[in-house]
Structure 1
């Protein structure tokens, strides 16, 4: 067994990329394509070179599918960012052949399976800090390209409110407190002198 070893970063035509055989994860290709159109390809695929012009995608299989779903050429789509219309982050609204930015690694078959499995599984194992997530989402002008919807934000805020209500202790009658009576002969520490 060998560890995955980084070789280079390269832009590789989709025609040279093969999905990982038996990839068990089923991702939301539509959400990924929406993100790519808005944000561009912000993360590289991880691929293993198996022949001079053939690579197997270890991590990023659904990103590969989303780029393929976009297809070649100018899609004509623009995205609204604030008040500005911007070109599609995949094709730039220009003639384009489907390519992906890739991190090329070398490894054996066993390590390739492990990389694919952990890439898919690690996202399932994490949790969210709901308050931090709500603040991140609510801080955006729109949710385009985030994978989140206004309905998701509403559900999240409701869950936060319900959790806070469960954590609040019941209000109990607290006895009124009064200042202790001055002890005769005690030194005045308030900084005022008697009149």
Structure 2
């Protein structure tokens, strides 16, 4: 087991090419409310030439700095470029692959005084309540089973009036189906 150490925040640097864009404000709220309950991971850097570079917890570090923290808890590794890249990617991706049991999540959120400190807005909570209330069998009976073409997205953007006129004319000429017109223009 690795030893957790305290590091001065001025001694550390964020990963030089982090693909993740974290929500520092939400993380800062969590740190203010609960403190740091998981150490970040710092590469000593003997094999990469980048001393004290954060591989996991970059946004926790940035949130701690924003809050004016002088120190942060970390564990250290000493890995080469490939090892550093693997830790960064794994830290950012593996949690994304998981799913939630919405009922269990709702029950947990119900006991938290301020769900925004764990990243859930009031809108998110409303959506979860709607999901929990939905009887999928009753919906399927009322509306029929879900079909592939039921999963449609919406494309919406502002365009100059003359372009909108050309688009509308083209859709009309193509039989009134905007999706078919877009498909033909994109050569799909």
Matched, 1:140 2:112: yes
How far, CA to CA, are the matches of 1:146 and 1:8 in structure 2?
Answer: 27
Q: CA deviation at 1:39?
A: 0.3
What is the TM-score when the length of structure 1 is the normalising length?
0.65
Query: SS of 2:3's equivalent?
Result: strand
Moved over 3 A (4+): 168-171
Contact 1:138 1:153 in 2 (8 A): no
Unaligned runs of 5+ in 1: 1-5, 73-97, 172-195
Change (3 A) 1:107 1:54: closer
Unaligned runs of 5+ in 2: 143-188
Matched, 1:67 2:67: no
Q: CA deviation at 1:100?
A: 0.6
How far, CA to CA, are the matches of 2:96 and 2:2 in structure 1?
Answer: 28
How far, CA to CA, are the matches of 1:60 and 1:22 in structure 2?
Answer: 14
Residue among 99, 112, 121 paired with 1:149: 121
Match of residue 177 from structure 1: none
Greater CA deviation, 140-149 or 38-47? Answer: 140-149
Query: SS of 1:57's equivalent?
Result: strand
Match of residue 99 from structure 1: 71
Match of residue 15 from structure 1: 10
Matched, 1:118 2:115: no
Larger radius of gyration: 1
Query: SS of 1:20's equivalent?
Result: coil
What is the TM-score when the length of structure 2 is the normalising length?
0.67
Q: CA deviation at 1:40?
A: 0.2
Match of residue 175 from structure 1: none
Residue among 42, 45, 52 paired with 1:50: 45
Would you tell me which structure has more helix in proportion to its own residues? 2
Would you tell me which structure has more strand in proportion to its own residues? 1
Query: SS of 1:64's equivalent?
Result: helix
Match of residue 137 from structure 2: 167
